[in-house]
Structures are given as structure tokens and as C-alpha cells.
Amino acid sequence: MKHPDQNTWIAYLYQDELPPADRAKLDTHLAECRSCRQQLESWNLARQRLNAWSLPRQRPAPRRTLPLLRLAASIALLATTFALGRHAFPAQPHPAALRQEIATHLAQTLRPQLAEELAAGFQSALQDSHTLQEETFTRWLADYAAVQDHQRRQDLNNIQQAIVRLDSQQRADYAELRREMETMAILTDASFRHTQEQLFQVASTSSESWPENP
């Protein structure tokens, strides 16, 4: 016996899926085929069990006309409120789920606060670090300036002392030179005088020994 495929039987389950002629053929087959009948009974039993879950109908909303934008905004607001409400307040007292909800909520709530505190602490530490760095740099600069100033004063003092020494040395040298020059002048003058006297003596001697012109 050739059995119709499962897709055909699935369509047979519902009155509105197959034309009457096809249904009649399948009815005929079903009357003779036990395995197909069992298959359908199993599916029908499962379908029948599905009817146990019925959802209560919601109360109809009051019939009044809302402006379109207000309606859309209301829907969005309601959806957001429901979503927030569901996340903030677990809809069931299951301990594990409740604990997880609380942990998640706390984590979500505390994370921004912790981030703010960390950011504030980081800013404060950064500010302190900058201040300390500036103070250290200022102190180091002052020390360096003091050392440089001391060194500069010492150098100046040394230079002044050297100038004084050089000046006194120059003065001494100048005095020595002057004395030598004066001695040389005196000696030269004496030598000139002696030469002059000798020249006078030579001249006088020559005039006496030479004959007079005729």
C-alpha cells in the first residue's frame, strides 16, 4: 500500500487546507491503514493538549480617539515602562532568578557610580600628582638657581680678586719700569754730559795745536 507523505497528512489535520475531493481520498486510505491512523491520532492528541493553554482576553481599551502621535508616544512609554518594571522588579519569586536580577540591577546601578568615583579619584590623584610635580620642579629650580647664584658670586669674587692682583702687578711693573727708565735717563744724561765734556776737551785741544790761517 502506498502511504501519503507526512506533509499531506499534516494538511489533512486541518479542515481548511485540502479540497473535499482530496480529503475523501485520504479518508478512504485512513479507514484501511492502521499505521497512518496511529500517526494521526498521536498528532491529534498533541493538538488536543495544546488547547489546555488558553490565554484570557484582555479588557478592551476605552473607545476614545487619541491623536496619532500621542498614541504612538503612549505605546512607546508603556513598552519602556513595562520593560523597566520587569527588569527592576522580577515578576516571580524564584530565588536564583531573583538573586540574578538583584545582582544585575546592582551591577547596572553601581557601575555608573563606581565609574564616577573612579573618575573623580583618578582626577584627584592626577591633580595631586601635578601639584607635587610642580612643587618639586619649583623647589629643584630654586635650588638650582641658588647654586648657580652662589657659583656666579664666587666666580665674580675670583675675577675681582684676579683683577686686583693684576692691577697691583701692573702697578708694580709700571713702577719698576719707571724706575728703570729714570735710571736709564739719568745714565744717558750723564753719558751725554761726559761726551759733551770730552768733545769740548777735544775741541779745545785741536784749536791750540792747529796753525792759524794765513
Partner 1 sequence: MPSILPFPIAAFLGLTDEQAMGRVQSHDDEQAFTHLARRWEEPIRRLCTRMTGDEHAGQDLAQETFTRVYIHRHHYRAEARFSTWLWRIALNLCHDELRRRQRRPADASGSLDDLQDLIGSSSPDDSSAPDQAALAQEQSRLVRQALDRLPAPYRAVLILRHYENLKFREIADVLEIPEGTVKSRMTEALNRLAQLLRPSVASAAPAATARHPVPPLCTV
Cα–Cα distance for residue pair 1/32, rounded to 1 Å:
10
Q: Answer whether 109's CB lies under 8 Å from 102's CB.
A: no
Question: Cβ distance 30 to 4 under 8 Å?
Answer: no
Q: Hunting for cell 686686583 — which residue is that? A: 164
Rounded CA separation 134/138 (Å)? 6
Q: Can residue 67 be called a binding residue for partner 1 (CB under 8 A)?
A: yes
Distance (Å, whole) CA 104 – CA 69: 34
Residues 6+ apart with CB under 8 A from 39: 6, 9
Contact characters 22-41, partner 1, x per CB under 8 A: -------------------x
Exactly one of 1, 19, 45, 211 binds partner 1 (CB under 8 A); that residue is: 45
If one asks whether residue 210 binds partner 1 (CB under 8 A), the answer comes out as no
* 6 lies in the binding site for partner 1 (CB under 8 A): yes
Determine, following the binding rule CB under 8 A, whether residue 50 of this chain makes contact with partner 1: yes
* Count of residues engaged in binding partner 1, rule: CB under 8 A: 53
> Do residues 30 and 36 touch, judged by C-beta distance below 8 A?
yes
- What does the DSSP 8-state code read for residue 93? -
Shortest gap between Cβ of 107 and partner 1 (angstroms)? 12
Query: Which range touches partner 1 (CB under 8 A), out of 29-37, 42-50, 113-121, 167-175?
Result: 42-50
CB of 66 to partner 1, least distance (A): 7
Q: Rounded to whole angstroms, how far apart are CA atoms 174 and 44? A: 140
- 3-class secondary-structure state, position 91: coil
SS3 75: helix
Residue 46 in contact with partner 1, rule: CB under 8 A: yes
List 31, 32, 35, 49, residue binding partner 1 (CB under 8 A): 49
Among 20, 31, 34, 57, binds partner 1 (CB under 8 A): 57
Verify binding: residue 109, partner 1, rule CB under 8 A.
Answer: no
Q: Is residue 47 near partner 1 by the rule CB under 8 A?
A: yes
- The contact set with partner 1 (CB under 8 A) reads 6-7, 10-11, 13-17, 41-58, 60-61, 65-69, 71-72, 75-76, 78-79, 82-83, 86, 90-94, 96-97, 100-101, 104
